[in-house]
Structure 1
Amino acid sequence: MSDLFRSDNVVVRSVPASDLSRWVVTFDNYGIGHGFDRPGFGEDFLRNAGISAIHVMGVREDWYQYPEMAAAMQAVRQATAGAERVMTYGSSMGGYAALRFADAAGANAVLAISPQYSIDPKKMPFETRWLQEGQCIEWRPEIEGRIVCEVRPIVVFDPIEDGRQVERIQEDIDIWPIRLPHVSHPASTYLAEIGFLKPLVFQTLSGELDSAAFGIEARRRRRASGFYLSKLAMSQPAHRRGLAFDLARLAVKTNPSSPLVGLAFAKLLSAEGQHDDAIERLEGIVASTNRAPVYLIPYVDALMAAGRFEEARPHAREAVEAFSHQAHLHAWEGFLLQSLGEKQAAIKAVERAIALDPNPQYRQMLKAYRRGSEADDLGQRRIAGWAARGLARLRSVMRGLRKA
């Protein structure tokens, strides 16, 4: 293992195997971690598979908008010169990079799972999942411009969640699309559950993937996936609540050990007013995941829905401390504190949110709290919506995307 390139923003780390004829160049997903004292995306998986890898690691979730990226990619190209196969690979933010840096890296294969075309709100105003980051990143035209990619990439995605992003990608380049509805973002979670993620990586790298056949078989296996069934349950409209519960129960039966599957069922129970059952299930999930902060958030939501605000307070604080850079969580905590009648603490929480993201909604929230309005004036559903959008950005933390 050695660093081929290093700056304050980017590290390019080489992890060669005995076979130097094939290389996978990976890019970090959102939430993999800050700094460079950590594994790269897919590092353990590729090492165990005997595949030479180069891991391009960004210091933050900046969608690789760094001036030294050209130099970093030149280091990749030099290290893989003479190789028969070079594949760029990433998921979500990493998929964005796999597409945009393929040519610079000298790739002859590209695998992008649930990628974005951009999260710049000026380009993609419908994209709200990473709104805080999109507003703060200094977008570089040499990186963020029109995609140019000589290779025809394999792009795997849920058209419900990422279809508009992929449509924009297809305006620039031709791709091999693999559409998997109701598998959520990123699609790698579903693929790993059905045992299709490793074959996808191996066959894309070798050039042997039949994308049409792969998509047909991946869709055929959905009914055996607890994760898919849970997502399908959560997508049901209110008048199909019975079907939603039937699907959620089947999902838990199909994959009883999955915290994500259990989480979906617990959310349905909470929404239906079955608070004690929802909270009990979420307590089990929080314990089984060693109090992973991303599961503390829906646990707190369930406690608040049950009116157990004081009980929710320490768990909310723990979640906010773990993700202190996320503005929406400070606003979320502010709502909890306001509900407890702690006006000044609520105001300070919302001020922290505004310092991170001067969102007009947070300013409206602060104004209401300062004039003594009740939290209901803003609507609990709006706060829940902010938290839900934020959770979409944090899900990669709990889905183990480093594995492949």
Structure 2
Amino acid sequence: MTGFSKDCCFVTFEPFGHSADLDRTAFGANFLSASRIDAVHILPAQNDWYQHADFLEACRRVAEVTRGYQQIVAYGSSMGGYAAIRFGGLVGAGSAFALSPQFSIDPRQVPFDRRWIEQARKLTFVSESVSSRFVPSAFIAYDPHGPDLRHADMFRPHTNVIDIPLPNSGHPCTLYLAELGLLQAAVVDLAKGTFDPVAFRHRARRRRKEAPEFYVTLSHRASHRGHSDTLSLTLAERAITRPQASLRCLTHFAVLAAHAGRMSDAFEAVDRAASTEPHHPAVRRAQSEILEVAGDLDQAVTILERLCQDPVPTGNDGTRLAHLRWRQRLPLYRQLTHPTALRRFGRLLDRARRGLGLPR
């Protein structure tokens, strides 16, 4: 959407998503339009991390549109933040506002991070190796207590990084900032040229306990660090009592509640999530896991089978589906692989790894 003003134009890069519909609403589009800020939106059809042969030509065409603006800001979250910094120069941007950007998902470059390994196996990093043109300067907001800190550090030789560390904001920190009402204000300030990253960070820290994502992130970390299931569940429950509790909050609590034997609470929470986005992959994964814990393997398998048929794969659902089918067929395997027992065993392994100083 252009035509509001020649002062500033945002170029947005879509984050990792679950829709292949190119008519979907682009990242930040509604807010930018409502704020009368010019914007050009780049939407990929797949979660391919912008690794396709015609991407360079697409960026050249965007640069033709943005030519003549006084300020051009590349804007994105996670996968979109990756592109905003790495390819922002190709669209004419002088700066980027990147939320939890990944430097790369190529395991040869980021061997410390396996969150995206399934997606990386399917990609040839053609744009990354040929088309990278980093923006001169990048505001990077990230959670310093996770792997996103290392990704932020890897950008430093390529661009002037202006750090916005947001402890326990999770990945991506986008929802955390939106819950606090700070994301929209930052975008407006960037468009005006008045954005103060230090004041922004301080406001986020002062208000962090208002954000459900803050508690969900603490809950995840309590689980990964081997703390009691009770602590993880308590933190997750605190998140869903907030009025703006997100789908991520609800599904996370639902799964923890199921493993704690609170099945009615689990189904109630996942039903709340499904009432807003019934086809979201995270909702269906949570439904499948809760049904597995409840002993309904047939329905758990059916949900995963449908999820694996989605046009845009977003997770390692095929591996989990194979596991559930083995549980269906073999009674002994079913007894040995009860999901709650496996979670507890995994926590013990994590605790042992930390004690030995081994990577997770």
Normalising by structure 1, we get a TM-score of 0.75
User: Which of residues 300, 308, 316 in structure 2 aligns to 1:328?
Assistant: 316
Q: Which residue of 1 aligns with 2:22?
A: 36
SS at match of 1:153: strand
In structure 2, C-alpha distance between the alignment counterparts of 1:256 and 1:178, rounded to whole Å: 24
Q: Which residue of 1 aligns with 2:78?
A: 92
Change (3 A) 1:130 1:381: farther
SS at match of 2:109: coil
> Quick check: 240-249 or 171-180, which moved more?
240-249
SS at match of 1:172: coil
1:307 equivalent to 2:266? Answer no
Q: Which residue of 1 aligns with 2:333?
A: 374
In structure 2, C-alpha distance between the alignment counterparts of 1:329 and 1:383, rounded to whole Å: 17
Cα pair 1:147 1:169 within 8 Å, conserved: no
Change (3 A) 1:44 1:133: same
1:115 equivalent to 2:64? Answer no
Tell me which of the two structures has the higher relative contact order, counting C-alpha pairs closer than 8 angstroms and 6 or more residues apart: 1
Q: Which residue of 1 aligns with 2:64?
A: 78
Q: Which residue of 2 aligns with 1:5?
A: none
1:151 equivalent to 2:136? Answer yes
Letter in 1 for 2:67: A
Q: Which residue of 1 aligns with 2:262?
A: 274
In structure 1, C-alpha distance between the alignment counterparts of 2:327 and 2:43, rounded to whole Å: 41
1:101 equivalent to 2:87? Answer yes
User: Which of residues 329, 337, 340 in structure 1 aligns to 2:325?
Assistant: 337
Letter in 1 for 2:295: G
Structure 2 gap ranges (5+): 344-360
Letter in 2 for 1:208: T
SS at match of 2:74: strand
Superposed CA RMSD: 3.0
In structure 2, C-alpha distance between the alignment counterparts of 1:32 and 1:331, rounded to whole Å: 18
Normalising by structure 2, we get a TM-score of 0.84
SS at match of 1:374: helix
The aligned runs of 1:219-234 (5 Å cut-off) are 219-234=205-220
In structure 2, C-alpha distance between the alignment counterparts of 1:32 and 1:45, rounded to whole Å: 21
Change (3 A) 1:324 1:309: farther
Cα pair 2:59 2:91 within 8 Å, conserved: yes
Shift of 1:90: 0.9
> Quick check: 143-152 or 115-124, which moved more?
143-152
User: Which of residues 222, 231, 251 in structure 1 aligns to 2:239?
Assistant: 251
Q: Which residue of 2 aligns with 1:319?
A: 307
Letter in 2 for 1:183: S
In structure 2, C-alpha distance between the alignment counterparts of 1:192 and 1:249, rounded to whole Å: 20
Change (3 A) 1:240 1:255: farther
Cα pair 2:98 2:138 within 8 Å, conserved: yes
Matched residues, percent identical? Answer: 27
Structure 1 gap ranges (5+): 1-14, 344-371, 385-404
Equivalent pairs, count: 341
Cα pair 2:293 2:339 within 8 Å, conserved: no
Shift of 1:294: 2.2
> Quick check: 101-110 or 247-256, which moved more?
247-256
1:21 equivalent to 2:7? Answer yes
1:283 equivalent to 2:291? Answer no
String of CA shifts for 1:28-61, please: whole Å, max 9, x gaps.
1111633633333222222221111111222322
Change (3 A) 1:77 1:311: closer
Letter in 2 for 1:374: Y
Change (3 A) 1:382 1:134: farther
1:210 equivalent to 2:196? Answer yes
Change (3 A) 1:217 1:325: closer
Letter in 1 for 2:194: E
In structure 2, C-alpha distance between the alignment counterparts of 1:296 and 1:92, rounded to whole Å: 22
Letter in 2 for 1:154: F
Q: Which residue of 2 aligns with 1:348?
A: none
User: Which of residues 158, 180, 187 in structure 2 aligns to 1:201?
Assistant: 187
Letter in 2 for 1:132: E
Change (3 A) 1:255 1:378: same
